[in-house]
Amino acid sequence: MDEGKEVVARAVYNCSLCGKEAAAVELVEEKKADSTTQRWIRISGFIGVVSEVVAGSAADSFRRHLQRGDAALLPERFAPFYCRPCGRCYCIDHWSCEVRFDDDFYDSTHGTCPEGHRKMLDD
């Protein structure tokens, strides 16, 4: 990990079918040279590595959610591996994925869970 960056909360969610890691979600704090702190959410192990900057207030509630480890508490965009209708997490192998292209450019990935619920996994 780079200097100045610290993982302040981390949760690993396992696939409810095979037990494999579905994704690891982390809250990372980065101290900037101007002494401000930037916070990131980082999701790895599902579709590549996704990271996004979050505001301080959102980061605080996010940290509590990660500590409780319940994927249902996470905002939808930070829990693509979680199927809300099922109330379960699935690894990428158990989502049946459909990648869409818009004029040859990657557009989005839709997935269908093992129970047949469809949703957007990545855009």
Q: What is the DSSP letter of 74?
A: S
* Interacting residue with Zn ion among 5, 52, 117, 123 (CB under 5 A): 117
Contact status: 83 vs Zn ion (CB under 5 A): yes
User: If you count them, how many residues does the chain have?
Assistant: 123
| CA-based nearest residue to 78, from 50, 112, 57 | 50
Binding mask 14-43 for Zn ion (x = CB under 5 A): -x-xx-x-----------------------
Give the Cβ contact number of residue 53 at 10 Å: 12
SS3 at position 52: strand
| CA-based nearest residue to 117, from 107, 94, 20 | 94
- Residue 12 is encoded by which pair of tokens? 């690993």
Number of residues near Zn ion (by CB under 5 A): 12
* Interacting residue with Zn ion among 80, 91, 95, 111 (CB under 5 A): 91
In this chain, which stretch among 12-20, 50-58, 60-68, 97-105 interacts with Zn ion, using CB under 5 A?
A: 12-20
Residues that bind Zn ion (CB under 5 A): 15, 17-18, 20, 83, 85-86, 91, 94, 113, 115, 117
